[in-house]
Amino acid sequence: MRRDRRRLAIDIVVPVYNEEAVVAEFHRQLIDVVRPLRREHDVRICYVNDGSVDHTGAELLKLAADDAGVTILELSRNFGHQAALTAGLDRAEGDVVITLDGDGQHPPELIADMIGLYRAGYDVVLTQRVAAEASRFKRWTSAAFYRLLSVIGNTPMTTGSADYRLLSRPVLEALRQMREYHRFLRGMVAWAGYRTVVLPYAERSRLGGSSKYSLRGMARLAADATFSFSLVPLRIALVVGSCFLLLAVAEAFYVMSFWLTGRQHLLVPGWSSLMFMLLIVGAALMIAVGFVGVYVGYIFQEVKRRPVYLVRSVHRATPEAAAEPEAAAEPEAAAEPEAAAEPEEGRER
Ligand code: UDP
Ligand code: MG
C-alpha cells in the first residue's frame, strides 16, 4: 500500500490570531523545514488571519512579499480557531494538507515524518502531546475531557491530540462534506476514519504572546465536542424517568408487604397512594421528556447533513488487477493526482 514517490502538492495551513510577536519567528522555523522539502515537493503555506486586531496582518504581508508560496487568508472578523482552520482547509488544493498552530507550540520538524507516513500509505497522521509544557490545570482538564468524551461519545478520540495533523485528499474531501456550524475538528477527523497513525511529540512552550483560549473558550470547545458527538445528555431524562418508574414499582411492593403481613395499620393513611402517584407522575413526565430528547437527537443528526458513509477505495476486477490484486487496492485519490496538483488559482497575494 506504499504510495509512489511522485512530487506532491503540500498545503500547510496556519491559523493566527493576534500573534504579532511570534509570527515572524514561527515562519522562520517553518521555512527551515519547508526549504529542503521544496526540492522534492510543491509546498504552499496558507496563513489564516482570524481577524487579528494587532499588527499580525502587517507581519504576514511582509512574509508573503518575498515568497510566492505564501498565501494569506484574511477573515472578516475573529471566528475562532476551528473556523479559521476550516477556512484554510476549504481552500487547500494539494494532495495533502497539514495544519498547525502559529505560536510555535507545534514543532514544524514533524512535517517531514508526516510526509513519510503519508508515503507509507496512511491517510491521517495525528499528533499527540506527550510531554506538554502546558499548565497542570490545562493538562488535567484535557485528559479528563477526552476520557469523558470517549465514554459518552461514540467516536474514539486520541487523548492529548492537537490540531496539528496531516490529512490526505480523500479525508479533506470528507471534511468538506461536513458543514456543521459547531465544529470540533479533532472529533470530525476521528469520525471520518481512514488509515490513521499517531505521531507523539513534545509540545514546546509558546514563542511569545499568550494563549488565545480563555477558560470560556475552552468550555465552549468542550461543549461543541460533547453536544455534537454525544446524544447521551439528551437521554438523561429517559434514564431518570425509568429510575422513578422502578421506585414506583418498589413502593407498590413495599406497601403490599404491609398488607400481606397484616401490618397495614402501621401505614400512615394516604401515604401509599400519594407516594405512588408522585413517583408514577414523575416517571411519566421524565419518560415523555426523554422521548422528546431522542427525537431532538435524531433531528440534530439529520440537520448536520453529514454523509452517511465515506468510501476509502474501490476495488475493480480488471484483467490486470486480477493478476496483481494490490494494484487495485490503491485509494482512488492516488489515481488522480493531476487535478489535485494544479497550481492554486486566485491567489490573493
Ligand atoms: N487562534 C485563532 N483564532 C482564535 C484563537 C486562536 O486563529 O480565535 C490561533 C492562534 O493564533 C494559534 C492557534 O489558533 O495559532 C492555537 O491557539 P492558542 O495557542 O491560543 O491555543 P492553545 O495552544 O493555548 O490551546
Ligand atoms: Mg498554542
Most confident of 51-60, 296-305, 319-328: 51-60
Confidence of residue 129 (pLDDT cuts 50, 70, 90): confident
Q: What is the pLDDT of residue 84?
A: 93
Q: Is 205 in the pocket of ligand 1 (CB under 6 A)?
A: no
Kindly give the pairing relationship between strand 96-99 and strand 124-129.
unpaired
Name the closest ligand to CA 26: 1
Is the per-residue pLDDT at 62 higher than 80? yes
In this predicted structure, the answer to whether residue 343 has a pLDDT above a threshold of 70 is no
15 lines ligand 1 (CB under 6 A): yes
Atom of ligand 1 nearest to the CA of 85: 7
pLDDT confidence band for 43 (50 / 70 / 90): very high
pLDDT of residue 332 exceeding 60, the answer is: no
Lookup result for grid cell 500509505: 121
**Strand, coil or helix: what is 13?**
strand
pLDDT exceeds cutoff 80 at 322: no
CA-proximal residue: ligand 1, atom 9 (nearest): 16
Nearest Cα residue to atom 23 of ligand 1: 211
CA angle, 220 as apex, 215 and 224 as ends, to 5°? 150
Ligand 1 pocket check for 20: Cβ under 6 Å: no
Confidence category of residue 344, pLDDT binned at 50, 70, 90: very low
Complete DSSP assignment for 125-166: EEEEESS--S-HHHHHHHHHHHHHHHHHSSS---TTB-S-EE
Residues 6+ apart with CB under 8 A from 114: 98, 125, 165, 166, 199
Question: Which pLDDT belongs to residue 321?
Answer: 52
Q: How far is the CA of 17 from the centre of ligand 1 (A)?
A: 6
Site to substitute for ligand 1 among 48, 81, 98, most atoms within 8 A of C-beta: 81
130 Cα: distance to centroid of ligand 1 (angstroms):
19
State pLDDT tens for residues 148-189. Answer: 888 888 788 888 888 999 999 999 999 999 988 888 999 999
Q: What is the pLDDT of residue 198?
A: 93
Report the nearest-CA residue for atom 11 of ligand 1.
Answer: 16
Report the half-sphere exposure of 28 (CA within 13 A, side-chain side).
Answer: 5
> What is the model's pLDDT at position 30?
95
Distance 18 CA to ligand 1 centre (A): 9
82-98: per-residue pLDDT in tens? 999 999 999 999 999 99
Nearest residue by C-alpha to atom 13 in ligand 1: 101
**Residue 211 in contact with ligand 1 by CB distance below 6 A:** yes
Range with the lowest mean pLDDT among 136-145, 240-249, 307-316? 307-316
Contact partners, residue 62, CB within 8 Å, separation at least 6: 24
Q: What separation in Å is there between the alpha carbon of 227 and the centre of ligand 1? A: 22
Answer whether 102 contacts ligand 1 (Cβ < 6 A): yes
CA distance 101 to 190: 19
Q: Are 29 and 96 in contact (CB under 8 A)?
A: no
Q: Give the pLDDT band of residue 140 (cuts 50, 70, 90).
A: confident
Q: Over pLDDT 70: what percentage of the chain?
A: 88
Please tell me the predicted confidence (pLDDT) of residue 320: 61
Helix (H, G, I), strand (E, B) or coil at 243: helix
